[in-house]
Structure 1
Amino acid sequence: MEVKYSQLKAMLAITKASLRATFRSPSAVIFSIGFPLIFILVFGFMGEGSSFSVDVAMDKSADTTNPIYQIISHINGLHFVDKPDSLLKEDLEKGNLTAVINITKNAAANPAYLIHLKSSEAIKEQDLQLLQSILNSVIGNINNAQFPNAPTIARVDATVDKIPGRVYRRIDFILPGQLGFSLLSAGVFGVAFLFFNLRQQLVLKRFFATPITRPYIVLGEAISRVLFQMIAAVIIIGIGVLAFDFTLVNGIITFIDLMILSLLGLVVFMGYGFIVSNVAKNESTIPPFANLFTFPQFLLSGTFFPITVFPKWLQFLCNLLPLTHFNNAMRDISFEGASLISEWREIGILVLWGILLYAIAIKVFKWE
């Protein structure tokens, strides 16, 4: 009795063999897991920094004509931030801003000014105490120099308004960027070299001699790459959480959302890998073609530092890149607690990039 050939079993066999080969490839392991972990460890062990610098902002209604403000605005250790109220509130919640200072004239005239601080629960208590000490020291120096025999010119309110907040650690910015770095590298370089070598070494030609159809060949190889990279993503996120307190706001729900987003990002980036594997004439031309797509994104997509450090015209170009939107969505989901649905704009741009890349890949794809 003739047994019907199983395309699914053949595809799974290809997947298993390809996955095993990927784990045995030093370059795949280093680029997908090694490099991102090295960056995470380096930035993680750097900590939050120990230099004396306190970020503060002035309340928009504050009196800035008094001698207190004139002095504190020139203290090197105080860095004054000027942003809209909504962004200041966001910085407070993340612990990026120590306090918003409000200096007002006292209706009772004694003391002449009242200083009130607004902070958040994400702020380290020692940073807040340091700011209060600086303000009290400034007030004391003004009293001694100008009003030695008069009541104090100002008083710092001992009660600090605190809004809810979570500490935004360095790892909360770095890890999503490194995960994006890993996925982009694997999706482009991994797929490009894989399918180029399959053609060059006539492996695809040998597959054609079997009953398995072409779509199942591609699926089998692609699934092995996806499985390997998803394992790498779990390792990267796991080390971030266990070793450096990487924030997963909603626990396992956030983790699942991050894995789904990682899967989408990898599939999109693999599209360019398919393009490179077909336009490259030989193995030495793969890196230049691949770097045309990957290198600008490593630098301009918020992988190592925010894109806000760039001039406005360059930020516009940064926001055209798919990795920028992947990184934004990753950080919003992990720290802000956003859902995949609420990140529809970032995900939608990723999908559009995927449609464009695969449309080109289908046009240029060659089997031999």
Structure 2
Amino acid sequence: MFTSLQFHLAGVFLKIFLRNRQAILFSLFFPLIFIGAFSFSGASNDQFTIGVTDESQSPFSEEFIKNLEQEEIFNLIEGDFESLQSSLIQGDIKGLILIPNNFKDIDNLGALKFYVDASQTRQVSVIQRAIETSLLSVERKIRNIEPLFDLQLEDVKARPQRYIDFLLPGLLAFMIMNLSIAGSGFNIVEYRRRGILKRLFVTPIKPKDFITSIVLARMLIVLVQLSVVLSIALFLLDITIIGSYLSFYLTVILGTFIFLCIGFALGSLAKTQEGIRPIVGLVTFPQVILSGVFFPISSMPEVVQPIVYSLPLSSVVSSLREIANDGVSFMAFSTSTIGVLIWVLISFVIATRFFVWKEVAK
């Protein structure tokens, strides 16, 4: 069990952290800024503003425009071609449909032209499919043809999921990684620079007391700061954790342990603050981009997915997301949960391999 010496050292490290107000504010507000920025992203009612120039003024064109107006994803603006083309170039509208003069005779309908700036619009295929659907609807009405198939959409989710629901577990895992590596890796380098490790080395304090006290202090810091961010998200953004809070916080504790151990290893390799920054960046930055914090790993090329899933941050992100969004229990031992447990062992072995008390204190 923990000793009074370890608790005393943990209290000392907590006091050191609390004196650094800049680090406290940064670690709290950085995730909150992300959450605030993305809280209204990914809404299902986002519309594309589309310009329409009707040179035909025929019943066919009027029926076509009427069908487009019924599409929820479109916000139509009618006008002359030159002004709408200028709006398209400036980025005020996402596309421009030109209905030609000969869009009148059913036996000789002219081709519609769809102008779009593909460099500004990533959803060109979505807009094009909606336009083709409207054209098909007009054709059925003209020919008096009923659709052969009827597709009914039923949502099997217990609740609609917004992008912020997907994003929050990833940001919390990102927060865990930053706080943990900063609390072990950067602190070891700083304690070495200030001579604290050298003074501790000549005392009766054992390496396990030193490591345990840092783990206790940083674990408390992570749990408090993460709870603050999570509470703000729950009450202000109407986010619900479907799964058990016990499973959620158990994953948080294990994730913190993983990145603390990785931080100990990185802090042992680097000798100065200037030396540890690129090492930490080399380890953390690819994980932030690839580990599913901001977008699903399944959207990546299949060739790299096995490698990405094997990253420690990927396991923590996926496990937190399964618990928060799908209600999966930690004790269900899903693939993500098993990945977290495997990384607990791997990170502990890495930390004990690289963290040598005599070498670190030098």
Instruction: Tell me by how many angstroms 1:278 deviates.
Output: 0.8
How far 1:202 moved relative to its partner? Answer: 2.0
- One-letter amino acid of the structure 1 residue matched with residue 176 of structure 2: L
C-alpha distance in structure 2 between counterparts of 1:191 and 1:338, whole Å = 31
Matches within 5 A, 1:199-210: 199-210=192-203
Corresponding position of 2:4: 9
Instruction: Provide the rounded CA distance (Å) in 1 between the counterparts of 2:354 and 2:323.
Output: 36
In 2 relative to 1, CA 146–340 (structure 1 residues): closer, same or farther, beyond 3 Å? same
Aligned equivalent of 1:271: 261
Taking a change above 3 Å as real, the CA distance of residues 245 and 284 of structure 1, as seen in their structure-2 partners, is same
Q: Which residue of 1 aligns with 2:64?
A: none
Whether 1:303 and 2:296 are equivalent positions in the alignment is no
CA deviation vs aligned residue, 1:224-264 (integer Å, no higher than 9, x gap): 111001111111211111111222115xxx22221110010
Change (3 A) 1:259 1:158: closer
Match of 1:38 among 33, 58, 66: 33
Aligned to 2:220: 227
* 27-36 vs 297-306, greater mean Cα deviation: 27-36
Q: Is there any run of 5+ residues in structure 1 with no aligned partner, and where?
A: 1-6, 54-70, 79-133
3-state DSSP of counterpart to 1:341: helix
Please show how residues 1-368 of structure 1 align to structure 2 within 5 Å: 8-46=3-41, 48=43, 50-52=45-47, 77=73, 141-142=138-139, 144-147=141-144, 153-154=146-147, 163=156, 165-250=158-243, 254-367=244-357, 368=361
- SS of 2:161's partner is coil
Measured after TM superposition, the shift of residue 266 of structure 1 is 0.8
Residues 135, 217 of structure 1: alpha-carbon distance in 2 compared, 3 angstrom cutoff: same
Change (3 A) 1:162 1:47: closer
| Root-mean-square deviation (Å) | 3.3
Name which of structure 1's ranges 156-165 and 11-20 shifts more when overlaid on structure 2: 156-165
Q: Measure the CA separation in 2 of the matches of 1:247 and 1:222.
A: 29
**C-alpha separation in 1, matches of 2:334 and 2:140:** 56
Q: Deviations over 1:19-59 (max 9, x none)?
A: 12213324532453221111011111446254238xxxxxx
1:9 positional shift: 2.2
Partner SS state of residue 19, structure 1: helix
* Cα 1:135/1:184, change in 2 over 3 Å: same
Deviation at 1:204, TM superposition (A): 2.6
Distance 2:137 2:265 in 1: 69
User: 2 CA distance for matches of 1:321 and 1:296?
Assistant: 10
Give the Cα–Cα distance (whole angstroms) in 1 for the partners of residues 72 and 303 of structure 2.
Answer: 31
Q: Supply the distance in 2 between the matched residues of 1:202 and 1:155 (Cα, whole angstroms).
A: 79
How many residues of Structure 1 are paired with residues of Structure 2 in the alignment?
282
Using the size of structure 2 for normalisation, the TM-score is 0.69
Per-residue Cα deviation, 1:278-310 (whole angstroms, up to 9, x for no partner):
111222010111112111100000011112232
Secondary structure at 2:160 match in 1: coil
